Amino acid sequence: MGARANIGDYGGDPGFVAVAGCSAGGHLASLAGLTPGDPDFRGELDDDADTSVDAVVSIYGRYDWEDTSTATRRNFQSFLERVVVRRSQSRHPEVFAAASPLARIHEDAPPFFLIHGELDTIIPVGEARHFRDALDATSRNPVVYSEIPRAGHAFDLVDTSHARRCAVEVGRFLDDVRASRVENRPAAAV
């Protein structure tokens, strides 16, 4: 990430770095939050680069790259094997585990805000609920979850009322996490 070292050049605060993303971006934001200092995710950054983040916002993200229990999950695995990873999960399970936020959960995970549509057919809401439960059971930091009623995948692109609600909730979450860091107190849920 190197963002912390350079964020001041763009008007940001190096004392508070949050990452956010939707769908695949939510997957990547979650990985960024769960893999600080991991040399496999460092790329070309210097060994001493601070890759930690202070908060993660994931909107209808993908969290489990290992599950093949349903036809939908097997279709997703096939897509990953053919297009993204270009390796089979059966021969390279470590690659899929390394890229699975669910498998990377740890007690020092930063505060997370997960947002998911109740009617998402691309990434079923059960995956978000499972990730929330696992993260909440392990992390010492807050895990906030907002399930949007009657919303599908990419709901924020087609429904301005949902997008507005999410923007307000995300703003509150980030303000609270930032304030808790400044005051050195636990962050409260939204």
What is the domain-level CATH number for residue 32? 3.40.50.1820
> Which is catalytic among the residues 58, 100, 116, 120?
120
| Residue 134 included in any domain | yes
Q: Which residue has the tokens 């202070």?
A: 54
C-alpha angle 104/106/109, rounded to 5°? Answer: 100
What's the pTM? Answer: 0.90
Which class for 1: exposed (0-12), middle (13-18), buried (19 or more C-beta within 10 A)?
Answer: buried
Active site annotation includes 120:
yes
Structural domain boundaries, residue 56: 23-38+50-64+100-180
Question: What's the pLDDT score for residue 61?
Answer: 97
Stretches where the chain sits below pLDDT 50 are 1
Number of domains comprising the chain: 1
What is the DSSP code (8-state) at residue 111?
A: P
Question: What's the pLDDT score for residue 1?
Answer: 47
CA distance 113 to 142: 8
Question: What's the pLDDT score for residue 188?
Answer: 56
Question: What's the pLDDT score for residue 28?
Answer: 96
Question: What's the pLDDT score for residue 43?
Answer: 77
112, 80 Cβ separation under 8 angstroms: no
| Residue 16 included in any domain | no
